[in-house]
Amino acid sequence: MNLKEMKLGQTILAEPEDKDIKRLIDMSRKAGGNMEKLESLARQMAKAITGREKATRRAEAAEAVLKGKEKDMVSKIFYDRAEEL
């Protein structure tokens, strides 16, 4: 699995844990192919995250689990959250 580097005043390398992968699979299933629902669920989950590393792991999980526009949108939401923290 790819590791991403993020410059946030420090370098963060985060490989998704099994629970991160599971959360993204569950989110995708719950959205049922509806992009707006997926975006809403991702934003809700990202808002609840309080640590940079966790937000980065979720972004990595999105890249591992999702495809195409869904992957790009959801991973960006979590990377943006990591930058906020």
**pLDDT single digits (tens) 13-39:** 578 889 999 999 999 999 999 999 999
pLDDT the model gives residue 13: 58
Nearest to 21 by CA among 47, 59, 48: 59
Q: Given this model, what pLDDT does residue 12 score?
A: 53
| pTM score, whole prediction | 0.83
Helix, strand, coil distribution of the chain in percent, nearest 5? 70, 5, 25
Please give the pLDDT value at position 3: 37
